[in-house]
Amino acid sequence: MSVAILGAGAFGTALAVALSANGPVTLWARDIRWGRDNPRLPGVTLPDAIRVTDDLGTAARADTLLLALPAQALGGFLADHAGLLDGRTLVSTAKGIDLSRLTGPSTLLAGACPQATIAVMTGPSFAADIARGLPTALTLACADADAGRALQHALSTPVLRLYRTADVTGAELGGALKNVIAIAAGVVIGAGLGDSARAAIVTRGFAEMTRLAARLGARPETLTGLSGLGDLTLTCTSAQSRNFRYGQALGARQPFDSTTTVEGAATARAVAALSARIRCDMPIAAMVAALAEGRVSVENASEMLMTRPLKEE
């Protein structure tokens, strides 16, 4: 099975490094002037088994294409290039909900490439850890059981272990929604509200994640796995998480690098709109959206959450 990765950001590059342990990998980048040392992943030199190209047509000839593109960029990419991708096996690694369509990456892929086999790779992982060869476990979600098993074996390495599920919706939502809660956890720490408050936000945030996922057809138990609880734990407790750092900056009223991709900010807005449409209560996600848009202060957001009607857990 030939493999290509579309998108040479930190995560796409890290996946290329990891998967090159299994054989040749093609890495597509819009700009390859950086050669064998990608500035988005400092300190990592690409192994010889990785072929870097800026020719999308060449990369798209691979049997399996991993789309390592930001969630909000995927729709536009597919609008321009779906013809090159249809009929292949497409694995999304994006963690977000498209703001304009209020759908996840797998739905975008299925709509644009109806003849493709669709899968999702998600779970607790930082690009730097993967690129350094540190042990990492992820979820591989595919509704086609045979294709899922083939991908699981083809994309696992001695240090990258994939667990398989058929619940694409649950795995995808876990990866998207945890970014929203990670922003909230960062706000709590940045505002100096303490670790007890962070624990409360993470726990109640997980309840929100599970509630929305179930309403959208996911199996609740999927959210207790790597793609939900596992990823939530990682991103809410580590400064390596861009979403957590963004939340910290919001909470501390400090500027944040606008060139850094923060998937959770747009996803929070998408979740707020989606939950209102289907009448699913998501107060933490709604507050993150309001904070990111500057519609409420940290103090007001905290007060509004703490003064909600008391209820059973």
Nearest to 126 by CA among 234, 221, 52: 234
CA-closest candidate to residue 135, choices 124, 148, 150: 124
For residue 28, which of 11, 46, 13 has the smallest C-alpha distance? 13
Residue 120: strand, helix, or coil = strand
Tokens of 249: 């900056």
163: tokens are 């667990």
The rounded distance, in Å, linking the Cα atoms of 153 and 166 is 15
In angstroms, rounded to a whole number, what is the distance separating the alpha carbons of residues 151 and 149?
A: 5
Helix or strand holding residue 162 (H, E): strand 160-165
Distance in angstroms (rounded) separating the CA atoms of residues 190 and 82: 41
Nearest to 227 by CA among 197, 198, 206: 206
Nearest to 54 by CA among 39, 80, 33, 68: 33
Q: Active-site residue 95, yes or no? A: no
Give the Cα separation of 75 and 62 in Å (integer).
21
Place of tokens 């399996």: 64
Catalytic residue among 178, 198, 242, 245: 178
Which residues are part of the catalytic machinery?
A: 178
